[in-house]
């Protein structure tokens, strides 16, 4: 299959997923309720595209940066920071409704700084240092999350659902504005992160060679880490920790589009969005609603196995 055809197929898939996402609800197939369409399904669709895309995009960047196929956007700890913020917001209660995502974003940012500070030794950051620091901080934070879950009087499944991924956010005008503001930040961060695709290609071969070729590896490492962490932190703040997308979709993108980050990163974005949208459509057809992470795994794993075995 020619590359152009692959891209076309991917865009068609995304359009199909978007159409289905707009038209399928608990009542079945319907496009005639304008209020539901504008207030619920459209924000839901955009959030799904953003979340799936961002997770896969930053997953690709991080796997490329760290040269590790098992890294996903959650490896570096920020997601645990965001989850901690969410749980604090839910356990302590936030009457204005706005503070839970804000707490989660704050949690992610603090975590980002902590991971970076721990990884930095004598002014330099190494790949191994970042991974180790991220994993350790992540463990510590998930310990805190579990502690809060146990100490709180909330039903546990509420928190579990919240953390395992949900695009069905109850929107009020304040929350909508917060979401739009975050969307603008995410868009900027995506473009900035994409500008590192060439440096990532060169660094993937050999870090020393990259230095001689004029790539500032320290700056690249720092910025890619900070940008993907920011992206993931914001995503988790709104949707919870949706698993699988950020780990496997980068591999899918590389299987289909080759190792060049200039192509795999946008391809991963589209693939991630498609996978998450389909998962979300299935999740919302079930009663009671399933957590997204369950469906992304069931949907993504067979597809990955198929591609892996046939190539």
Partner 1 sequence: MKRANSSRLTAHGSGRLGAGRKLLAVSCLLWLCACSRSPLPRPNGIVSLVPSVTEIIYALGQESQLTGNTTFCDYPEAARHVYKVGDFSNPNVERILRLKPRLVFATLPEQQTAVAWLKQLGIKVLISRPNSFDSLFREIRAIGAALGASARTDSLVGSLQARLAQIPAPKQRPSVYLEISEQPLMTVGRSSFINEIIERAGGRNAFADIDKEYPVVSQEQVIERNPDVIFLLHPMRDRTEFGKRLGWRVIAAVRNGQVLDDVNPDIVFRSGPRVVDAVEAIARRLYAQ
The CA distance from 176 to 229, in Å, is: 23
260 binds partner 1 (CB under 8 A): no
Strands (E), the chain: 24-25, 28-29, 120-121, 124-125
Query: In the bound complex, what is the minimum distance in angstroms from residue 211's beta carbon to partner 1?
Result: 40
The CA distance from 240 to 164, in Å, is: 6
Among 166, 197, 229, 264, binds partner 1 (CB under 8 A): 166
DSSP 131-170: HHHHHHHHHHHHHHHHHHHHHS-S-HHHHHHHHT----PP
25 binds partner 1 (CB under 8 A): yes
In order of 25, 117, 188, 253, 263, the CA distances from 269 in angstroms are 25, 29, 15, 9, 10
- Which residue matches tokens 């190539």? 311
Among 5, 170, 208, 309, binds partner 1 (CB under 8 A): 170
123 binds partner 1 (CB under 8 A): no
Q: At what angle do helices 156-163 and 78-92 cross, to 10 degrees?
A: 140
Contact region with partner 1 (CB under 8 A), list: 56-64, 167-175, 188-196, 294-302 = 167-175
293 binds partner 1 (CB under 8 A): no
Among 32, 35, 212, 310, binds partner 1 (CB under 8 A): 35
26 binds partner 1 (CB under 8 A): yes
Query: In the bound complex, what is the minimum distance in angstroms from residue 172's beta carbon to partner 1?
Result: 4
The CA distance from 237 to 158, in Å, is: 16
Query: In the bound complex, what is the minimum distance in angstroms from residue 288's beta carbon to partner 1?
Result: 4
Query: x/- site string to partner 1, residues 64 to 93, per CB under 8 A?
Result: --------------------------x--x
The two three-digit tokens of residue 106, written as one number: 């704050």
Where along the sequence are the contacts to partner 1 (CB under 8 A)? 25-27, 35-36, 38-41, 43, 90, 93-97, 100, 150-151, 153-158, 161-162, 166, 168-174, 176, 284, 287-289
């Amino acid at each position: 299959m020619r590359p152009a055809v692959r891209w076309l197929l991917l865009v068609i898939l995304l359009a199909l997923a978007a159409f289905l996402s707009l038209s399928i609800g608990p009542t079945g197939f319907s496009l005639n309720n304008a209020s539901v369409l504008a207030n619920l399904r459209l924000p839901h669709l955009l959030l799904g595209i953003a979340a799936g895309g961002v997770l896969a995009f930053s997953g690709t960047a991080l796997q490329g940066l760290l040269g590790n196929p098992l890294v996903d956007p959650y490896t570096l700890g920020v997601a645990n920071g965001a989850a901690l913020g969410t749980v604090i917001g839910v356990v302590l209660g936030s009457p204005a409704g706005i503070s839970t995502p804000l707490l989660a974003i704050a949690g992610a940012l603090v975590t980002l700084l902590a991971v970076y500070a721990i990884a930095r030794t004598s002014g330099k950051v190494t790949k191994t240092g970042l991974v180790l620091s991220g994993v350790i901080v992540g463990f510590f934070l998930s310990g805190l999350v579990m502690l809060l879950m146990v100490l709180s009087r909330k039903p546990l499944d509420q928190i579990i659902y919240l953390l395992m991924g949900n695009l069905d956010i109850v929107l009020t005008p304040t929350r909508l504005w917060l979401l739009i503001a975050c969307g603008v930040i995410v868009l900027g961060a995506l473009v900035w992160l994409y500008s590192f695709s060439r440096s990532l290609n060169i660094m993937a071969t050999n870090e020393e060679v990259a230095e001689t070729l004029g790539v500032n590896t320290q700056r690249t490492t720092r910025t890619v880490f900070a940008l993907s962490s920011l992206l993931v932190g914001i995503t988790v703040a709104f949707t919870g920790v949706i698993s699988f997308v950020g780990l496997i979709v980068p591999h899918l993108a590389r299987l289909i589009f080759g190792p060049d980050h200039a192509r795999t990163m946008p391809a991963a974005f589209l693939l991630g969005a498609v996978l998450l949208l389909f998962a979300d459509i299935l999740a919302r057809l079930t009663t009671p609603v399933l957590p997204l992470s369950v469906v992304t795994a069931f949907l993504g794993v067979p597809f990955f196995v198929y591609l892996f075995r046939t190539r």
